[in-house]
């Protein structure tokens, strides 16, 4: 059986023996004594965060449950509502037989959907593990949902790796869910059940559900772009010259007379966009989406990252004009790394090592680059990440 870096239990482990050993470790660490076995680094980091918050491991800390109306409002506003049935299809069919429950939260750690084994649902109710409850570390201590949010990574916890004593009889396995278009965190999918029923296949099951959900979100995105193309057919048929048709997030639904691009900066009718191959363009609002065409002149784009002031600034110009935008320190650091890499570019793992010192932050890197591309659009290309080939890019300072 394949193991993962975040698995809490190795295949073949006697769960009862391991649970008792973890209980001794839990009592020693939280009692200020030297533990017989050190907690896993992930658990140690979480316990440190939670103890700094002053939570009490001997009591049930506040879950602050939201009312039904607010839960329904959050469900309607969540992109995960589009894929909740797909998650159920993977996890729900075996939940009752396997004695676990499936939970899906929003990015605030609020439980929006919950279902599974009737007996385990009753046990979860007594723990406050119910729809509307907030399961972040600052509310309920170390748990797979809250710790996955804090670590921005999948997490599995077993028995006394939980902080609260009331959660010790449980295991939980959670994976963050991201918008595949933007990298934005949408929530967490979690499988939880009685600790001594943990099966090694649970990790693979949760990973499959997360990957399927994100793949289905991408399919919905492609369908929206296709609807945009159909709605703009009459405009495209009567418009000549190079152009792009994009949605409100800058994703390209159609291109003519210019190399295919996946995304440009988010359109704004009051601001010119720099698009390699088109130069500076003024987006034109359609009933759905935007038409992006060059104004005139040379399409060459020059970009300069200015680091001489307290705030990093990106200056972009072409024959048609120029614009400037401030950048966060993280986005400036990403552009510096891409400029230094040249045309070969960098993978998410490369950028993770350059920015964080290891390759464990690839999800964070993808989200940061996606946010950067909302501002600079096609100036940054992907697969691998690099400055676009037809952009003259320099760094000052």
Instruction: Give 238-289 as a DSSP string.
Output: T--SSEEEE-TT-BEEEEESS---SB-PPP-TTS-EEETTTEEE--EE-SSS
Query: pLDDT tens-digit profile of 293-343?
Result: 886 655 678 889 999 988 999 988 876 567 788 999 999 999 999 999 998
Domains and CATH numbers, the chain: 15-222 (3.30.450.40), 240-396 (no CATH)
What is the model's pLDDT at position 336? Answer: 94
Cα end-to-end distance, the chain, whole Å: 52
Q: Tokens 């602050």 — which residue? A: 64
pLDDT over 80 (residue 364): yes
Provide mean pLDDT across the span 338-367: 89
Q: What percent of the chain has pLDDT over 70?
A: 95
User: Among the listed ranges 45-54, 171-180, 352-361, which one has the minimum average pLDDT value?
Assistant: 352-361
Greater confidence (174 vs 257) lies with 174
Contact 168, 149 (CB under 8 A): no
Give the mean model confidence (pLDDT) for residues 59-64. Answer: 88
The mean predicted confidence, pLDDT, of the chain is 90
Give one word for 182, left, alpha or beta, with left for phi > 0 and alpha for psi -120 to 50.
alpha
Q: State CA 21 to chain mean position distance.
A: 34
Q: Is the pLDDT of residue 2 over 70?
A: no
Spatial strand order of the sheet with 111-116 comes to: 111-116, 101-105, 185-194, 170-178, 155-158
CA–CA distance, 194 with 16 (Å, rounded to integer): 12
If you ran DSSP here, which 8-state letter would residue 33 be given?
S
pLDDT band at 1 (very low <50, low <70, confident <90, very high): very low
pLDDT at 126 (0 to 100): 94
- Quickly list H helices, the chain: 15-30, 41-53, 68-77, 84-98, 118-126, 137-140, 144-151, 201-231, 233-237, 329-341, 348-356, 362-376
Q: Which residues of 303-316 are buried (b: 16+ CB within 10 A; e: fewer)?
A: bebbbeeeebbbeb
Q: What does the alpha-carbon distance between residue 268 and residue 264 come to, in Å, rounded to a whole number?
A: 12
How many angstroms separate the CA atoms of 349 and 50, rounded?
Answer: 29
pLDDT in tens, 260-281: 778 888 888 877 788 887 877 8
**Peptide bond preceding 374 in cis form (omega within 30 of 0):** no
Give the closest residue to 316 by CA, choosing from 349, 279, 351. 279
Please report the pLDDT score of residue 101 as a whole number. 95
Tokens of 110: 């609020």
- pLDDT for the residue numbered 100: 94
> Which range has highest mean pLDDT (214-218, 240-244, 371-375)?
214-218
Please, which pLDDT band fits residue 173 given cuts at 50, 70 and 90?
very high
- What pLDDT does residue 371 have? 86
pLDDT tens for 8-56 read 999 899 999 999 999 999 999 998 899 998 999 999 999 999 999 999 9
| pTM attached to this predicted model | 0.79
Residues 6+ apart with CB under 8 A from 321: 272, 280, 295
pLDDT (average), residues 120-138: 96
Residue 191 has pLDDT above 60, yes or no: yes
Confidence of residue 181 (pLDDT cuts 50, 70, 90): confident
Quick check: 132 and 71 in contact, CB under 8 A? yes
Q: Is the pLDDT of residue 243 over 80?
A: yes
Q: Taking 90 as the threshold, does the pLDDT of residue 98 lie above it?
A: no
């Amino acid at each position: 059986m394949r193991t993962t870096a975040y698995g809490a239990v190795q295949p073949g482990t006697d769960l009862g023996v391991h649970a008792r050993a973890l209980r001794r470790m839990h009592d020693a660490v939280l009692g200020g004594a030297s533990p017989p076995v050190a907690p896993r680094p992930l658990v140690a980091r979480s316990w440190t965060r939670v103890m700094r918050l002053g939570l009490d491991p001997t009591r049930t800390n506040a879950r602050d449950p939201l009312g039904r109306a607010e839960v329904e409002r959050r469900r309607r506003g969540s992109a995960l509502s589009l894929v909740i049935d797909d998650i159920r299809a993977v996890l729900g069919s075996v939940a009752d037989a396997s004695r676990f429950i499936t939970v899906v939260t929003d990015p605030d750690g609020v439980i929006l959907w919950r279902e599974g084994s009737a007996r385990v649902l009753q046990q979860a109710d007594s723990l406050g593990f119910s729809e509307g409850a907030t399961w972040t570390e600052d509310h309920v201590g170390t748990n797979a949902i809250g710790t996955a949010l804090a670590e921005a990574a999948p997490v599995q916890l077993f028995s006394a790796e939980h902080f609260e004593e009331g959660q010790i009889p449980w295991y939980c396995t959670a994976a963050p869910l991201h918008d595949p278009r933007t990298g934005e965190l949408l929530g967490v999918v979690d499988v939880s059940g009685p600790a001594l029923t943990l099966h090694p296949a649970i990790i693979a099951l949760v990973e499959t559900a997360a990957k399927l959900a994100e793949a289905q979100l991408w399919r919905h995105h492609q369908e929206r772009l296709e609807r945009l193309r159909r709605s703009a057919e009459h405009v495209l048929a009567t418009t000549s010259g190079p152009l792009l048709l994009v949605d409100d997030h800058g994703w390209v639904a159609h291109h003519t007379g210019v190399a295919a691009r996946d995304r440009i900066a988010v359109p704004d009718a009051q601001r010119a966009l720099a698009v390699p191959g088109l130069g500076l363009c003024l987006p034109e609002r359609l009933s759905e989406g935007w038409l992006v065409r060059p104004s005139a002149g040379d399409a060459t784009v020059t970009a300069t990252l200015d680091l001489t002031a307290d705030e990093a600034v990106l200056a972009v110009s072409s024959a048609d004009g120029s614009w400037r935008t401030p950048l966060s320190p993280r986005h400036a650091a990403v552009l510096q790394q891409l400029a230094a890499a040249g045309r070969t570019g960098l993978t998410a793992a490369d950028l993770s090592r350059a920015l964080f010192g290891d390759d464990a932050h690839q999800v964070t890197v993808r989200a940061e680059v996606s946010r950067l591309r909302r501002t600079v659009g096609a100036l940054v290309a992907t697969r691998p990440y690099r400055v676009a080939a037809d952009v003259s890019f320099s760094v000052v300072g």
